[in-house]
Structure 1
Amino acid sequence: MLYPSFSRQLLTTHNAGSKSFVLAFSGGLDSRVLLDLMARFIAQYPTYSCHAVYVHHGLSNNADVWAEKCLAWAKQSGISCDVERVMVETGNRISLEQAAREARYKALAKHVQQGDTLLTAQHSDDQIETFLLALKRGSGPAGLASMPVILPFAKGTHLRPLLNVTRAEIEQYGKAHQLEWVEDESNQDERYDRNFIRHQITPRLVERWSGIHKAVARSSALCGEQEALLEELLSTQLAQATQQDGSLLLAKNTTQRVGMALIRQWLKRQKVVMPSLAQLEQIWFNVVLAKQDANPKLCWSNVEVRRSQGKLYLLQQWSDISQWQASLELNAACQLPQDLGALVLSESGCDKALRYPQKDEQVTVRFCYQGDPIKPLGRSGSRKLKKLFQEYQVPSWLRSRTPFIFYGDKLVAVVGYFVVADFSGDDIAINHRI
């Protein structure tokens, strides 16, 4: 009876404006069954189409073999299939599971066009695991809501059509239809929390309480509804607090409870890895409530929250570029590091700023200056660069990412802010393209 309920869900939940599906196909039991179900669905409803994508993480020596099997099974099913190779970031402070998941969904997103539906094969046992992992972390309603059946994804939607189906039912279907699938050896490694729950906890829960799948599904749905209600109630206040540059400005009379909730919703909309409760509290106490002259920040995952002029900013963590430098040639674009755009010194343009460099003055761009006080054009007297940045209200994190132009060892311009008086002229325009 698995197929009839599956096809009904696809017909009722799929976006009627598009009839294109993208199937995340790992070759394991769950996605192998999903491929077979989709083949039957397409045969019955030929106006729909499906394309499978195998994401090659490079984490197993068997990945190449799995990729070939997936291509073969998809071809047998009459479904096109691509292999996407990804690089998974590893490190002592990085969760391999999380890094692989992020890389996988990033690869899948490239295949989801406007209105398409991504299909993944998570089932109700996976939901139990996700719920218990959230419980272990001490998550609130947002975490305990676990995995929704359908949600926005890339340019379309993400649908989990097997989320109310048990692993036992999926295995029964696979065996009844004599399907082959791959066995990922990492799924047996109980050092991973999810595998420990799968092999040691869920079977005992099912043995004790046969209705545990439905109970967890019900609790997850209730938590999801409560989170959605909170988001709806805070939507107007969040819109008022969110500034044009994407920063968050909390009213001075905002309470801790409301303030932390607004910060969570603000971060959620920016689709970053959510901070833990302890980290959220640190944002409130150590960033929001820090002294006015402080330069507070909180880092987690690959992002950080900082405060400037009373506003909170979400930023990507960047490596140090203080030692980076490059030569500048007239009328030639110089590509800056870390998505900082390109810099061009041009002899054309209406806003001329610099004089020509002398023959012995090598022109370079750098991101560090530790020299003498500077006198900007139009100012009386010289000031230290730190004081000038404060006057120009340049946030602290932008100061180390602002390009400096040098003639020899002399600073001649801070791009976007000022030209040093002794080097001003009508010969060269500065163009910074982001």
Structure 2
Amino acid sequence: MAVTELTPDHLKPLLAPLHERRFVVALSGGLDSVVLLELMQRLRSEGVIARLSALHVNHQLSPNALDWEQHCRALCERWQVPLETVPVTLDARGANLEEQAREARYEAMAQHCGANDCFLLAHHQQDQAETLLYRLVRGSGARGLGSIPRRRQLGAGELLRPLLDHSRSQLLDYGKSRDLRWVEDESNRSLRFDRNYLRHRVLPAFRQRWPDIDSRLARQAQRMAGDAELLDQLAALDLAASQVSSPDAWLSGYPMLSWQPLREQSPSRQRNLLRFWLRQLGVAVPGEALCEQLLALANSRVDANPCVQWQGWEINRYRGVLVVHKRFAPPGESGTFFLREGDLALVNNGQLRVRQASLQKHRLCTDLGPLRIGYRCDGFEPERIKLAGRRGSKSYKKLMQEQGVPPWLRDRWPLLICGTELVAVPSIGVLEGFSAPSEEEGFELVWQVPKWGGSD
């Protein structure tokens, strides 16, 4: 329940146990953050906290931006609080300027948040109410309607919001009683922005009918956060029953999900698991329409190998398992080279490990001269492949199927070529006629597949 008067004592239960950590106030210069900084410097003077600093993000959008930055600097000098300023550049003509600014702020904070740091934001009860309504209009689910969390991870440290239980009127009363000075962002009055529309047009009308609407919405957000926690717990159980690993070396480390345990469950439960799985991996969670495509992919025929792509990510289904990875850039030209022991970096395509070996039965001979890497996606695909020591020949597709190579890797599998002839398929075998004699050393070739996150 909200208290009637704001004092530093109200912050002590949350902050006192974290005494030894560095607290960093996200300081905009407005009422909310100025009140929070003043409260924190009073707690520092009482010895409740030991280290305090501030971070100001200059969005460089307003003609008054430099004045706001100077105001923050003057406050911090007055209270002897170290201040760091970070300029960010936004596209003022781009879509959703609100979201651009928010992402830039959080990115700046995450970059400056060390392992022992707590970043403090001055969000209050009215912010919570606005966020709940904003996300409700946007069609968010239970997790989104949980609105603003009191604490969460930020970069290597933590983000805290110690004023969430307090109303803006309490912050205003406190600021006036302490004779504080703050700046007013003129953009906060513009109805161009959705949150401002809710703040100036929608919520005032609600308050006339229900004076306690802010606290009501804040409580509802807490309930939704509890519901979202229960959904996450259910998803964690489903994930534990569904996670699998690949026996194939080229998919080692790729996140995989067996869909069989959930095939008979409701679409809501399936959807809940998919979103939870992707969040746990740090993958951008797709919107509702794409989520339905993912469900259709997961529940498709066992022998189908479809995929869904979004925001640089891709989920493939292969042999009844879902595999997620960053969308790979097309492999580039490697040029000609002479084979020698070591690791050969392939352009946008992992690396080729070359090792001298004498014990393996079929090794590539060492005196082939200049070689190059070819790819099926570039049009190189031999009609038939006859591997040394094996009966008969096979098509490229049949060979890859037998080796358990998923379709999305087949086009980018590196093929070692001498002149116009294929001499080896790394990690799979050497072609007939290109094996090293049994009494000589030869080369063992292993392709290290690009990492699932898209970097090598």
With over 3 angstroms needed to count, the CA separation of the structure-2 counterparts of 1:429 and 1:223, relative to structure 1, is: same
Q: Superposition pairs for residues 46-85 of structure 1, below 5 Å?
A: 47-55=49-57, 69-84=71-86
* Equivalent-residue separation in structure 1 for 2:13 and 2:268 (angstroms): 39
Q: Which residue of 1 aligns with 2:293?
A: 282
1:384-407, Cα deviation, whole Å (9 max, x unpaired): 433333222223333455444444
Q: Distance in 2 between matches of 1:258 and 1:236?
A: 11
- Report the equivalent of 1:150: 151
Q: Deviations over 1:125-148 (max 9, x none)?
A: 221221112211333322211112
Match of 1:23 in 2: 25
The answer as to 2:271 corresponding to 1:260 is yes
- CA distance in structure 2 between the aligned counterparts of 1:36 and 1:327, rounded to whole angstroms: 66
Q: What's the CA shift string for 1:216-259, capped at 9, x where partnerless?
A: 01111111112222333443332111224532213143333332
Tell me, in whole angstroms, the C-alpha distance in 2 between the residues paired with 1:111 and 1:368. 43
The yes-or-no answer on 1:321 pairing with 2:330 is yes
CA contact (8 A) 1:321 1:367 kept: no
Distance 1:113 1:387, change over 3 A: same
| Structure-2 change in CA distance of 1:282 and 1:81 (3 Å) | same
**In structure 1, distance between residues paired with 2:227 and 2:330:** 44
Alignment of 1:28-427 (within 5 A): 28-45=30-47, 47-55=49-57, 69-84=71-86, 97-98=98-99, 100-184=101-185, 186-244=187-245, 245-250=254-259, 251=261, 252-284=263-295, 286-318=296-328, 320-325=329-334, 328=337, 330=340, 334-336=344-346, 341-343=350-352, 345=354, 353-356=363-366, 358-359=368-369, 361-364=370-373, 368-371=377-380, 372-373=382-383, 374-400=385-411, 402-408=413-419, 410-425=421-436, 426-427=441-442
Q: TM-score, normalised by structure 2?
A: 0.78
Cα distance between partner residues in 1 of 2:294 and 2:273: 12
Which residue in the other structure is 1:4 paired with?
8
Q: Greater Rg, structure 1 or structure 2? A: 2
Query: Offset of 1:183 from its aligned partner?
Result: 4.8
Letter in structure 1 aligned against 2:164: L
Give the secondary-structure state (helix, strand or coil) at the position aligned to 1:190: coil
Q: Which ranges of structure 1 fall in alignment gaps of 5 or more residues?
A: none
Native 8 Å contact 1:130 1:147 kept in 2: yes
CA gap 1:401/1:186 in 2 versus in 1, 3 angstroms: farther
Q: Which has the larger displacement, 240-249 or 372-381?
A: 372-381
Stretch of structure 1 that moved more, 205-214 or 109-118: 109-118
Cα distance in 2 for residues equivalent to 1:399 and 1:314: 16
Which stretch of structure 1 is more off in the superposition, 149-158 or 124-133? 149-158
Q: Relative to structure 2, which stretch is displaced further, 196-205 or 398-407?
A: 398-407
SS of 2:158 mapped into structure 1: strand
Q: Is the 8 A contact 1:366 1:405 kept in 2?
A: no
Q: Aligned with 1:230: secondary structure?
A: helix
Contact 1:21-1:119 at 8 Å conserved across structures: yes
Aligned equivalents of 1:238, 1:83: Cα separation in 2: 42
CA drift of 1:65 comes to 6.2
Residue deviations 1:69-105 (CA, integer Å, cap 9, x gap): 545543433222334466779998x755445544543
Q: TM-score, normalised by structure 1?
A: 0.81
Instruction: Call closer, same or farther: CA 1:407–1:198 in 2, change over 3 Å.
Output: farther
Report deviation, 1:287.
Answer: 0.7
Q: Do the aligned partners of 1:368 and 1:404 also contact (CA within 8 Å) in 2?
A: no
The Cα shift of 1:215 comes to: 0.3
Once the two structures are superposed, residues 40-76 of structure 1 have per-residue CA deviations (whole angstroms, 9 ceiling, x without a partner) of 2222226521233334556667666655654554343
In structure 2, what residue type is equivalent to 1:78?
Q
Residue 429 of structure 1: how far off its partner (Å): 4.6
Q: 1:193 to 1:388 in 2, by over 3 A?
A: farther
Q: 1:353 to 1:177 in 2, by over 3 A?
A: farther
Q: Deviations over 1:289-343 (max 9, x none)?
A: 223333323334443332222122332234x4145545656467554455x5554
Aligned residue pairs total 427
In 2: Cα distance, 1:367 partner to 1:89 partner: 40
**C-alpha displacement of 1:423:** 4.3
Partner Cα separation in structure 1 for residue 189 and residue 346 of structure 2? 46
Gaps of 5+ in 2: 246-253, 449-455
Does the CA-based 8 Å contact 1:150-1:160 persist in structure 2? yes
Distance 1:300 1:164, change over 3 A: farther
Greater shift, 271-280 or 154-163, is seen at 271-280
- Per-residue deviation, 1:212: 0.8
Is 2:15–2:49's contact at 8 Å kept on the other side of the alignment? no
